[in-house]
Amino acid sequence: MDAVIENLPTYWRGFSMTLLLLGVSGVSALVLGTVIASMRISPVASLRGFATVYTELVRNTPLTLVLFFTAIILPYLGSRLDYSVAAMIGLSVYTSPFVAEALRSGINGVPVGQAEAARSVGLGFGQTVGLVVLPQAFRMTIPPLINVFIALTKNTSVAGGFFVFELFAAGRQLANANGDAVIAILLGVATLYLVITVPLGVIASQLERKWVVQR
């Protein structure tokens, strides 16, 4: 326990890096995922094909390989990115297809009857989408999106293996330095991860319960 309290500044340094990774890659994955999702439902066939292939390939690539690419292969090819920036790029790319799938399944989850009803009372495209489909899709999208962010929080730990000093790397360093208190140190790290993931999970399941549409 003493080892944990003595090393609180190191924990904090790691934790703030984890939060930074989570924030930056979360926002950019959201943007990238929205672009991919809209390409996937667009009427332009080649964009649709590109988005499908991208989703399928990125989703089946392990995150370790993505981060290996951004942290080791990119500098080898001549990039001069900072390791934390490289990790953010890798995490956003890896997370974007999951965001896109969450968005798409939300829109697909609205029954066709809803759009048909809106059309048959005379609403145009904008009104149908804006007033009928999207409000319902939104409710079904938020809980899965929160789950994607929970996964992202846990995935930031992989960046710790690729030269970024975040929570996992902090834990590894402290565990090496304090061989007699490994359990306490690593439980401290786990607690900090749980501080992010558990509340998010509670929010997701509560929203899901609150917003469930009885059909």
Partner 1 sequence: MSSSSVLFDAPGPKARRASLISSIVAGVLIIAGLGWIALTLAAPRESGGITLPGYFDPSRWDIFADPQVWSFIIFQGVWGTLSAALTASVLAIVLGVILSLLRSSEIAWIRIPVAIVLEFFRGMPVLLMMLFILLVFSTGSFWAVVSALTVYNGALIGEALRAGLAALPRGQREAGLSLGMRPLQSKMLVEFPQAFRQMLPIIVAQLVVLLKDTSLGYIVGYAELLRVNMNNLASFYGNRYLFSLFVVTLVLYLIMNLSLSWFARWLSRRTASRSSGKALPPDDATQAILVAQASAAAKQPPQF
**Please, what is the minimum distance in Å from the beta carbon of residue 50 to partner 1?**
5
Subset of 12-51 contacting partner 1 (CB under 8 A): 41, 43-47, 49-50
Q: Identify which of residues 88 and 118 has a Cβ nearer to partner 1 in the complex.
A: 118
Q: Are 211 and 135 in contact (CB under 8 A)?
A: no
**Please, what is the minimum distance in Å from the beta carbon of residue 10 to partner 1?**
16
Q: How far is CA 75 from the centre of its chain?
A: 25
Write the DSSP symbol of residue 205: H
Rounded Cα gap, residues 58 and 48, in angstroms: 15
Q: Give the list of residues 6+ apart from residue 41 with CB closer than 8 angstroms, or none.
A: 48, 104, 107
Q: Which range, of 6-14, 22-30, 84-92, 109-117, touches partner 1 by CB under 8 A? A: 109-117
CA distances from 10 to 155, 158, 179 (A): 20, 18, 16
Rounded Cα gap, residues 164 and 96, in angstroms: 21
Using the rule CB under 8 A, is 182 a contact of partner 1?
yes
Using the rule CB under 8 A, is 177 a contact of partner 1?
no
Q: Identify which of residues 12 and 154 has a Cβ nearer to partner 1 in the complex.
A: 154
Number of residues that bind partner 1 (CB under 8 A): 70
Rounded Cα gap, residues 141 and 106, in angstroms: 5
Using the rule CB under 8 A, is 193 a contact of partner 1?
yes
Using the rule CB under 8 A, is 148 a contact of partner 1?
yes
Going residue by residue from 64 to 83, which x/- string records binding to partner 1, judged by CB under 8 A?
xx--xx--xx--xxx-----
Using the rule CB under 8 A, is 128 a contact of partner 1?
yes
Rounded Cα gap, residues 19 and 23, in angstroms: 6
Q: Identify which of residues 32 and 148 has a Cβ nearer to partner 1 in the complex.
A: 148
Tabulate helix, strand, coil % of the chain (nearest 5).
85, 0, 15
Q: Which of 10, 34, 38, 105 binds partner 1 (CB under 8 A)?
A: 105
Helix 83-108, helix 45-59: angle, nearest 10 = 120
Contacts with partner 1 by CB under 8 A lie at 41, 43-47, 49-50, 56-57, 59-65, 68-69, 72-73, 76-78, 98, 101, 105, 107-112, 114-116, 119, 125, 128-129, 133, 147-148, 150-151, 154-158, 160-161, 168, 171-172, 175, 182-183, 186, 189-190, 193-194, 197-198, 201, 208-209, 212, 214
